[in-house]
Amino acid sequence: MSTVFAASPPAWQGLWVIVTVVVLALLAGLLFVALQSRRPRASGPRAELEPEREPVPPPPGPDAASDLAIATYAHIIDAERAYASAREDGPDAPWLHDVAFVERHGHGRIGIRGTFAGHYVDFDDLRLAESRLYAEVSDDLAGAESALIVFGPEETADAMARAMDDGAARVVRRHLSKVDAEALRASVADTPLARAPS
């Protein structure tokens, strides 16, 4: 007489199934949490911790008083070095975000790049741009190869002039009439608006 035994699965196979299900559930939970944390929230603790972004200031209107401050340097790299030094000494100075770099190259070519009158400017040769700006800076660059130029309210130009007074070959300060200030703004009106730092 023969006895037939029913085969039962080993105990470790059942344990393996349970472990697999638990691992898959944990992975699904982690994925869900990761996706939820990436979604923007309108309110709640996370929204309260995020700083508000500064709005982009509009360019100054035609009635805004504007001054010009030009710090000139003997060598072409000196203006950039002076700017870097000023950023280390007072990184929060407003004029640091509204300054243009001017360089004199061979054959009278004057290039300018940076922020001027609320616009980003990048001209390789101001003469070709037929810009009013060329007339304003060309005389002041006599004997210099580079310069920093700030165009804005009197207090901004004063702050730049004070910061650059010691190291510059010369600092020129000029208060402009409303007509002259508007002519300078018009000369860069076709260039992109510069954005405020975030």
How crowded is residue 30: how many other Cβ atoms within 10 Å of its Cβ?
10
The span from the CA of 91 to the CA of 73, in Å, is: 21
Pairing of strands 170-175, 146-152: unpaired
Q: Are 141 and 104 in contact (CB under 8 A)?
A: yes
CB neighbourhood size of 69 (10 A): 25
pLDDT at 198: 43
The single-letter code of the amino acid at 85 is S
Q: Kindly report the pTM of this predicted structure.
A: 0.64
CA distance 151 to 59: 12
pLDDT score recorded for residue 62: 47
Distance CA 114, CA 134 (A): 15
pLDDT value for 71:
93
What is the full per-residue pLDDT of the chain (198 aa) written as tens digits? 555 555 555 666 667 778 888 888 888 877 777 666 665 554 444 444 545 554 444 555 544 658 999 999 999 999 999 999 999 988 889 899 899 999 988 777 889 999 999 999 998 888 776 667 887 778 888 888 999 999 999 999 999 988 887 777 788 898 988 888 888 888 888 899 986 544
**Burial degree of 163 (CB within 10 A; 0-12, 13-18, 19+):** buried
d(CA 96, CA 93): 6
Contact 117, 188 (CB under 8 A): yes
